[in-house]
Amino acid sequence: MTAIRSTLKTIGRLLPRAAVLLLLLAAPVLAVPALQSAGHATIEAPTMKKNGAGLVLLISLQRG
């Protein structure tokens, strides 16, 4: 009887932690369909302004 009681006590202590962890992990997954159905919300990163310094660095770092 004591083994069953300690097992139930352990499960009862870990169950709320597991539920909170599951909610934290599932929240972004559940939010995506809600945002897609709204139609006006767009999730994307802002585009960076191109400076053209990449070509200069590429040519200056080449080995001759």
Up-side HSE of residue 55: CA atoms within 13 Å toward CB?
3
- Tell me, what's the pLDDT at 16? 94
Would you give the end-to-end CA distance of the chain in angstroms? Answer: 80
Q: Which residue has the higher pLDDT, 35 or 57?
A: 57
Q: Which pLDDT tens digit goes with each residue over 3-54? A: 999 999 999 999 999 999 999 999 888 877 765 555 665 667 777 777 666 6
pTM: 0.45
Q: What is the DSSP letter of 40?
A: S
- Tell me, what's the pLDDT at 31? 79
- Tell me, what's the pLDDT at 19? 95
Residue ranges of domains in the chain: 1-41
Scan for tokens 């992990």, then name that residue.
25
Up-side HSE of residue 5: CA atoms within 13 Å toward CB?
2
